[in-house]
Structure formats: C-alpha cells, structure tokens
C-alpha cells in the first residue's frame, strides 16, 4: 500500500481554494493533523493504515459539502477516481465515503449516524475546529458571509430540530454558540477528543461571557 497523500491534498486544495468561511485548505490540513494526533493519543500502538484512512477522509471531508460545491456528484466521481489510483480496497473506500457523507453536524441533527473508528476521529477533529479561538473566528466569518447579525437580544435561542432548519434559519452568530457550538463537547466520540473539546469550549464560553458583559455595559 502506498501511503502518499500528494494527489488527495492537491484535489482538496483545488476544491477549497477561495473559501473565506473557514472551510479552506488550512482547515482540512489542521483536521488531518488533529485527527491523527487524537487517534495516536488513544492508540499508542498507532496503526499506519488507520492513520492513512483518517488523513484521506480529513482532507476530503469538506470537498463534497453543498456549501462548497454546486456539483457534489462530479466531486464524488473524482474522489472515486482518486481512490482507484491510490489502490484503496473496497472496504477502505466505503469507510471513507461513509465518513465524509455522514459526519457533518447537520446530517446528525435528526438521526445519529454511527461512524467507523476512523470516521469518529475525523468528526471529532472537525468539531474541535468549530471550537476555541479558531471556532470563534470561523463562526463570525460564516455569519458575515450569510448576512447574519452578530447579536440581537430580540432573536431568541431555539433548539435545532432539522437539517433544513439548521441551514435556512435566520439567526445571530451569538445564538449559534448556544444552538450548536456549546453542545459539541457532549457529542464527542473519543476520549482524547472530549478532553480537547472541553478546553476549547471553555475558551469560547469565556469569550461569550465577556461579549455579553460588554454588550450590557457590565464590564
Ligand atoms: P458541518 O460541516 O459539521 O455541518 P458546518 O459546515 O455547519 O458544520 O459548520 C462549519 C463551520 O461554520 C463551523 O465553524 C460552524 O460553527 C460555522 N457555522 C455554521 N453555521 C453557522 C451559523 N449559522 N453561524 C455562525 N457560524 C456557523
Ligand atoms: Ni470541516
């Protein structure tokens, strides 16, 4: 088996080039590194093949997102082609496709999809990227691009109930912290992912506390 990621990385770079909402190549590169690190902490024996599958799924995970492309089918076909070049087994290919097609937060609002071990590390790393200082920056970049206000105390925080509602609902970016970001810590799959998410959630809670104190002139 050839563990070369060059073709996969080049494909991801081409797909994500120009994104300004935090789904750029730097994001997937960090997801690959975080996911491999979390897996290595929990599994010190560190199976090289498992790490390779984790890395491939990490680099590919946002390339087929409907936010990033209008042509998901074409992207899937290209990934099939890459997987063939890479000589991945059917089992590995199924694992990678199942992961990248089912790991998103929005896909799991209505039904929980059970991911493979590799998928669980990629999903945890992607969630960690929505937390902490980077998560704060990404949330406001996303909110700005989608014309959402930073905050409006008249718009209530509500519970998310469906994929469509998540994608279409008018909300403030501060509400997004309560509706999604503060819930992620409890959704983590892996022990090392949970620990890292806890630390980064704390950073975000401190930020929102400070934001609201300043908003209400209480600081
Ligand atoms: P997933 O790919 O898991 O479905 P998203 O693509 O919805 O997750 O989220 C990716 C990034 O965009 C995250 O950092 C997330 O916090 C941010 N984001 C998504 N929706 C919003 C929103 N309504 N307001 C602010 N940030 C958002
Ligand atoms: Ni992502």
Question: What is the CA(27)–ligand 2 centre distance, in A?
Answer: 7
CA distance 116 to 95: 7
Q: Where are the beta strands (DSSP E) in 96-174?
A: none
Separation in Å, CA 44 to CA 51, 95, 121: 12, 22, 14
What residues have their beta carbon closer than 5 A to ion ligand 2?
62, 126
Q: What ranges in 86-129 are assigned the alpha helix state H?
A: 90-102, 117-128
CA distance 145 to 133: 19
**Would the CB of 106 count as within 6 Å of ligand 1?**
yes
**Would the CB of 197 count as within 6 Å of ligand 1?**
no
pLDDT at 1 over 70: no
Ligand having the closest approach to the CA of 143: 1
Question: What is the CA(143)–ligand 1 centre distance, in A?
Answer: 9
Average of pLDDT values for 151-156? 94
Question: What is the CA(169)–ligand 1 centre distance, in A?
Answer: 12
Residue nearest to atom 25 of ligand 1 (CA): 139
Amino acid 62: pLDDT: 96
Separation in Å, CA 73 to CA 10, 46, 91, 204: 19, 34, 21, 36
Indicate the pTM of the whole model.
Answer: 0.96
Confidence at 125, pLDDT banded by 50, 70, 90: very high
CA distance 182 to 165: 18
Confidence at 68, pLDDT banded by 50, 70, 90: confident
Residue nearest to atom 18 of ligand 1 (CA): 139
CA distance 139 to 174: 9
Question: Domain total for the chain?
Answer: 1
Do the Cβ atoms of 78 and 85 come closer than 8 Å?
A: no
Confidence at 163, pLDDT banded by 50, 70, 90: confident
Amino acid 160: pLDDT: 87
CA distance 141 to 149: 11
Q: Looking at per-residue confidence, does 3 or 198 come out higher?
A: 198
Torsion over CA: 53, 8, 74, 62 (sign): positive
pLDDT at 38 over 90: yes
Question: What is the CA(218)–ligand 2 centre distance, in A?
Answer: 35
**Would the CB of 138 count as within 6 Å of ligand 1?**
yes
Amino acid 82: pLDDT: 93
Boundaries of domain holding 187:
5-216
Average of pLDDT values for 54-75? 93
**Would the CB of 139 count as within 6 Å of ligand 1?**
yes
Question: Where residue 89 sits, what CATH number does that domain have?
Answer: 1.10.3210.50
CA distance 108 to 112: 5
**Would the CB of 104 count as within 6 Å of ligand 1?**
yes
């Amino acid at each position: 088996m050839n563990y070369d990621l060059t073709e996969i990385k080049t494909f991801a770079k081409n797909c994500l080039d120009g994104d300004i909402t935090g789904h750029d190549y730097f994001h997937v590169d960090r997801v690959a590194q975080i996911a491999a690190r979390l897996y290595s902490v929990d599994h010190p024996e560190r199976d090289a093949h498992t790490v390779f599958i984790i890395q491939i799924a990490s680099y590919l995970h946002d390339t087929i997102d409907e936010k990033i492309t209008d042509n998901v089918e074409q992207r899937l076909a290209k990934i099939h082609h890459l997987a063939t070049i890479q000589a991945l087994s059917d089992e590995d290919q199924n694992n990678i496709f199942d992961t990248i097609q089912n790991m998103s937060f929005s896909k799991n609002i209505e039904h929980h999809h059970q991911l493979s071990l590799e998928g669980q590390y990629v999903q945890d790393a992607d969630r960690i990227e929505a937390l902490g200082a980077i998560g704060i920056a990404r949330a406001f970049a996303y909110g700005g691009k989608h014309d959402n206000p930073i905050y409006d105390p008249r718009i209530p925080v509500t519970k998310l109930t469906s994929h469509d509602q998540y994608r279409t609902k008018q909300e403030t970016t501060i509400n997004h912290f309560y509706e999604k970001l503060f819930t992620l810590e409890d959704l983590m799959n892996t022990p090392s992912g949970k620990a890292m998410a806890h630390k980064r959630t704390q950073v975000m809670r401190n930020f929102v506390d400070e934001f609201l104190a300043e908003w209400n002139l209480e600081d």
